[in-house]
Structure formats: C-alpha cells, structure tokens
Amino acid sequence: MKIGSYRHFKGTIVEVVGIALHSKTMEEMVVYKHFDSMKGKKKNTLWVRPKKMFLEKVEVNGKKESRFKFLK
C-alpha cells in the first residue's frame, strides 16, 4: 500500500501516514490524517481503519468503487 494522499468515495481527502499493527490481533491498520474537521473532531486528526476495510470496494449508486482512491 502506498503512503500519500487518497480521496474517500464521499470526496474527503486524507493523507495516509503509515501502517500500524493491532497489539493483540496483529491486524494491519491504516493510519491516516483528515485535513478537515470530521464528525466534530478538529482538523488534522489521526484516524485508523483496518487495512482490509480501507482497501475494500463499496457500493455507490449501484456500482462498486474503492472506498479510498490513491491520488499521489
């Protein structure tokens, strides 16, 4: 997985800063930063999401597309 900027399917731009491991399950987690405020949190907040979920396809208007698309 590439480090860099990604666009969420809803339009938000995030910056992937690295991959972390869950301390008990060893599941890979994507660490990323939202540049804008999200869900009442300040901008530039770090978030984590399971790598499998980060890379999965979601259904949008009846079509499958990537949850996050790599930009640069």
CATH value at residue 62: 2.30.30.320
**pLDDT (tens digit per residue) in 19-50:** 999 999 999 999 999 877 766 667 788 999 99
Say what percent of the chain tops pLDDT 70.
Answer: 93
Query: Backbone phi, then psi, for 11, in 5-degree steps?
Result: 110, -15
Report d(CA 6, CA 2) in Å as an integer: 10
Say what percent of the chain tops pLDDT 90.
Answer: 76
Structure tokens at 20: 């972390």
pLDDT of residue 66: 95
Look at the pTM and tell me if it is higher than 0.95: no
Domain count, the chain: 1
pLDDT of residue 39: 64
Domain that holds residue 10: 4-34+43-70
pLDDT of residue 47: 93
Report d(CA 30, CA 13) in Å as an integer: 15
